[in-house]
Amino acid sequence: MFHLKINSVLTDENNEKFFGNGPLSLLLGVKEHGSLAASAKAMDMSYSKAVRLIRHSEEALGFPLLESHSGGKHGGSSSLSEKGEIFLSLYQDFTAGNRLFGKQHLDDLILPESTENIRIIILASGQGKRFGENKLLYPFRGKPLISSLLNTLHPLKDICIVSTIHEEVKDIAEEMGFACSYHVSERKSDSIKAAMDIIPEECATMFVQADQPLLTLTSVIKLIKAFEAEPERFYKLSYENKKAAPTVFPQSCFEELKQLSGEEGGSAVVKKHPEIPVIGVEANFPWEIWDADQKEDLIRMEDIAQYLGKERQ
């Protein structure tokens, strides 16, 4: 088993580090020893470097962290300013929260034992009537919307099938190395059955909606691992107990999924089996379960995607 070590660092507008373990230790040392010089000495750091670190932090934050005091029994001293005290406390709460989050989600880094017994069907046949046009081809961060989900699932492309009636979506998916089930019927059941026809009957199935651009690979892997642990249950991605797509169906429902008709979807199979528990698998972020019904939804998602993109640089 491995361990996770998280080091929280603040950077300025030039992406230069200005606050981390060094300045944090200096401030804590000032509280303990009564001066910046004594704090630096306890850390075996030169006083000039300590001053430089604190001044850089103060410039980036826009307020003084320390107050200097002259005279007294032992000469000059320093203490945290009022804002410095508040900032130090907030920063410690922040880093504690980061460590706790990391500890809670460390298991997310553990890969499933195998993906042989499950296939992922990406449902990409919607006409986007509420959207006003084919939303899967609508620009999202400079590329067709469908590209976002396919980029996310690309590491699992060998167990994915894109089911679509759109030739342009088929071309995009195949260019990215995904297998496709191209069909002409617009009915939801036919989109499911067309993909089911080309996957092994011994497999469970995960249905993913193509208009969830902020879904993460982490959540998809969590669903696979949940299925792996107890394969005869339904699983849905959820956030704060709100269940949504993707959904995992056990292998025992394979034939029933193939026998759907008209506008029936996977939910019809779930309703037929009240004896099978529907387990929510918690996503890390609320936007993972959002879908793009209208253009206003995509504007909100694009703002989040842009921020996340910057964070990943």
d(CA 251, CA 164): 23
Confidence band, pLDDT 50/70/90 cuts, at residue 129: confident
pLDDT in the model for residue 72: 52
pLDDT digits (tens, 9 = 90+) for 202-226: 999 999 999 999 999 999 999 999 9
Mean pLDDT computed over 58-63: 96
Picking from 288, 277, 139, the residue whose alpha carbon sits closest to that of residue 209 is 288
Answer for the pair 248, 164: CB distance below 8 angstroms, yes or no. Answer: no
pLDDT digits (tens, 9 = 90+) for 170-201: 999 999 999 999 998 888 899 999 999 999 99
**Cis peptide before 64, with omega less than 30 degrees from 0?**
no
**Matching residue, tokens 């690979």:** 217
Give the per-residue pLDDT at 71. Answer: 60
Sequential DSSP letters for 142-187: TEEHHHHHHHHHGGGGGGEEEEES-HHHHHHHHHTT-EEEE-----
Domains within the chain, CATH numbers bracketed:
10-107 (1.10.10.10), 112-311 (3.90.550.10)
Instruction: Give the residue, 143 or 70, on which the prediction is more confident.
Output: 143
Residue 294 reports pLDDT greater than 90: no
Over residues 90-108, the mean pLDDT reads 90
pTM: 0.81
The arithmetic mean of pLDDT across residues 251-277, rounded, is: 94
Strands (E), the chain: 10-11, 17-19, 66-69, 77-80, 118-123, 139-140, 143-144, 160-164, 179-182, 204-209, 234-239, 242-249, 278-282
